[in-house]
Amino acid sequence: MNDVVASSPIRRHVVVTGGALGIGGAVSRRFGAEGALVVLVDIDEVGAATARAEIVAAGGACIVVIGDITDDETVSALGAAVDEHADGRVDVLVNNVGDFRPAKAVFFKSPPEQWERLHKLNYWHVLTVTHLLLPGMIERGSGAIVNVSTVEAFRGIPGNAVYSGYNAAVSAFTKSLAVEVAGFGIRVNAIAPDLADTPQTPAELMLAGRDPELIKSWVPLGRFGEPDDYADVVAFLASDAARFVTGQTIPVDGGTLAASGWYRKAHGRGWTNMPDHA
């Protein structure tokens, strides 16, 4: 399954965690279409196989590592795959894995074991995977790291205080690490998605029976995000076009964070900060 196949010369070596579906899947395919060797880590074996086939069909190459990236064994397997198939070289690391589940409705009812799982899903693996691959980037004097945070790191989100806190840590880590490694020619940035229509958070689930026209009230650009919306920004941050950008978390949210509690009125004329008047 992991024979390196590419129809054109491999340009860059890219690691994507959670790289099979949703935002991660779009990121993997985006880099694959550019002719990259994508080292894709995912817990979903079927989804990973599908992503690999599509990457190869598009002219890229793909190595698959199956496992939970929060487990030390999977991190070790990733390191071994990079050494074996990519000559130890990683040009771009995308720490994509994250989830707001499991979660209780309010913090005071949540058990500590849920905090631990959310910690590993949203923050711990960012540290372990970056710690694994950063020394090679330092040795080569180049590299780009893109982390995936969330807009919820920058605004309150009732019922998900722990998730929000760990993603705020991702953005803080991004900023501080960027300063530490800038002298080695390495850039570190992040994106902060919101309202992404993916298998993890499908639009149908978010709408919950509401009129789809209401999206225009919630999102200034008038629609939910598609995986490629996020992948394109990740690709930009990892590219030479962003060569003077580091330490930043870029909201990719259709304007929801900028609106900051304002809602477009249902008739389309004007805005309100009182949702019951929308």
Question: pLDDT band for position 268 (50/70/90)?
Answer: low
Q: What is the pLDDT of residue 131?
A: 98
Range(s) of the domain holding residue 42: 13-210+225-262
User: Is the pLDDT at 212 greater than 80, yes or no?
Assistant: yes
Active site residue 163: yes
Q: What is the pLDDT of residue 265?
A: 74
Question: pLDDT band for position 113 (50/70/90)?
Answer: very high
Q: What is the pLDDT of residue 48?
A: 97
- Whether residue 86 lies inside any domain: the answer is yes
**Residues paired with 94 in a beta bridge:** 16, 146
- Whether residue 105 lies inside any domain: the answer is yes
- Whether residue 274 lies inside any domain: the answer is no
Question: pLDDT band for position 114 (50/70/90)?
Answer: very high
pLDDT digits (tens, 9 = 90+) for 180-190: 999 999 999 99
Asked whether the CA dihedral 78, 182, 249, 110 is positive or negative, the reply is: positive
User: Is the pLDDT at 25 greater than 90, yes or no?
Assistant: yes
Q: What is the pLDDT of residue 50?
A: 97
CA distances from 110 to 53, 70, 159, 178 (A): 40, 21, 10, 33
Q: Which CATH number covers residue 143?
A: 3.40.50.720
User: Is the pLDDT at 1 greater than 70, yes or no?
Assistant: no
User: Is the pLDDT at 163 greater than 60, yes or no?
Assistant: yes
- Whether residue 218 lies inside any domain: the answer is no
Question: C-alpha angle with apex 191: 186 to 193, nearest 5 degrees?
Answer: 165
- What is the identity of the amino acid at 245? V
Percent of the chain surpassing pLDDT 90: 72
Q: Taking the model in full, what pTM does it have?
A: 0.90
Q: Of 94-103, 125-134, 148-157, give the range with the top mean pLDDT.
A: 125-134
- Residue 154 token pair: 């920058």
Considering the candidates 123, 163, 166, 263, report the single residue annotated as catalytic: 163
- Whether residue 133 lies inside any domain: the answer is yes
d(Cα 191, Cα 3) in Å, to the nearest integer?
A: 31
Q: Which residue has the higher pLDDT, 90 or 99?
A: 90
**Residues paired with 38 in a beta bridge:** 14, 62
| Mean pLDDT within 16-27 | 97
- What is the identity of the amino acid at 12? R
- Whether residue 216 lies inside any domain: the answer is no
- What is the identity of the amino acid at 28? S
| Mean pLDDT within 11-35 | 96
- Number of structural domains (the chain) is 1
| Mean pLDDT within 244-265 | 89
User: Is the pLDDT at 206 greater than 80, yes or no?
Assistant: no
- Whether residue 74 lies inside any domain: the answer is yes
- Whether residue 118 lies inside any domain: the answer is yes
